[in-house]
Amino acid sequence: MKKLAPLLILTAGILWGCLGIFVRQLNNHGLVSMDIVFLRALVTCLIMGLVLLIFDRSKFRIRWKDLWCFLGTGICSIVFFNFCYFKAVTLTSLSVAAVLLYTAPAMVMVMSHFLFGEAFTRKKVLALLMTFLGCLLVTGILTDPGRISALGILTGLGAGWGYALYSIFGRYALERGYHSLTITFYTFLIASLGTFFLTDSGRVAEVATESLPMFGLCLALGLLGTVVPYLTYTAGLQYVENSKASIIASVEPVTATVLGMVLYREPLTLAGVTGVILVLAALAICSGE
């Protein structure tokens, strides 16, 4: 499993890079950012709850003294991160939103150094710098700063902070002996409860059940956009340092950039291509460390 850990994290990054497709479709049907956060959390919680109910009910057990770990992954990370990310998708392009999200590796590296004693190695720092430069190039902040709004940048950076916190709180939960299935279930149970009063649940239910294709889209949002990537990422965290895992998952903006170009004809400049190459090179460096 240890050898497969980087591949598990890479898979999570690719699937997360597809999230913008779901967001755009749901936006077109009248759902706003917080509606989508609630829908994603609820569908994921229901899927995970059914899996645990059928295969291993013992994984429902948690200790009350560890509840703060799941409040951290559910509220501080998922709710805040998803709201900021989905908002950024509506304010910018898919690639810009996803790349701003990946300021997270820097935040994870710094926090993990102080909280878990993870070392600042030369390769990790080099990979981090390459990722950051790649982010700047893909977003166009260096070549064309006027086309990116301040609010778009702030929401994208907020998403990065929230995403970074999942690695931190998730690591604490793993160190307390919890399985990735347990962590994922309680993360999204708390996230769905946390967003219930902040959204129009009636409108969400109406959109989700208006047609069979829309119902399938909502299931895919929960299964492919959430359950599978969070399970694989959390499982990979058992064998990969937080900082390295966060850099490996930087394949997400590359995926989002390619999808934005192919599906929505979002422009990709020479600087953007260079940025994508830098992110991929950083991923290779970090994976080989």
pLDDT (tens, 9 = 90+) of the chain, 289 residues, equals: 677 888 999 999 999 888 888 988 898 898 988 899 899 999 999 999 999 999 999 999 999 999 999 999 999 999 998 889 878 878 877 667 767 777 787 888 888 888 888 888 888 888 888 877 887 776 666 666 555 678 888 898 899 899 899 999 999 999 999 999 999 999 999 999 999 988 888 899 999 999 999 999 999 999 999 999 999 999 999 888 888 888 888 787 778 878 888 887 777 778 878 887 887 788 777 766 5
Q: Is residue 140 part of a domain?
A: no
Q: Distance (Å, rounded) from C-alpha 287 to C-alpha 25?
A: 34
pTM: 0.82
The whole-number pLDDT of residue 141 equals 63
Q: Distance (Å, rounded) from C-alpha 89 to C-alpha 288?
A: 32
Say how many domains are in the chain.
Answer: 1
Q: In 3-state terms, what secondary structure has residue 17? A: coil
Q: Is residue 286 part of a domain?
A: no
Q: Distance (Å, rounded) from C-alpha 80 to C-alpha 236?
A: 23
The whole-number pLDDT of residue 150 equals 81
What does the block give as tokens for 7?
């591949």
The whole-number pLDDT of residue 94 equals 67
The whole-number pLDDT of residue 263 equals 84
Parent domain of 98: 5-118+148-252
Of 13, 240, 5, the C-alpha closest to 131 is 13
- The owner of tokens 């490996």 is 248
Backbone angles phi, psi at 33, to 5 degrees: -55, -50
Q: Is residue 197 part of a domain?
A: yes
Q: Is residue 129 part of a domain?
A: no
Q: Distance (Å, rounded) from C-alpha 254 to C-alpha 275?
A: 9
Q: Is residue 210 part of a domain?
A: yes
Q: Distance (Å, rounded) from C-alpha 167 to C-alpha 244?
A: 11
Q: How many CB atoms lie within 10 A of CB 287?
A: 17
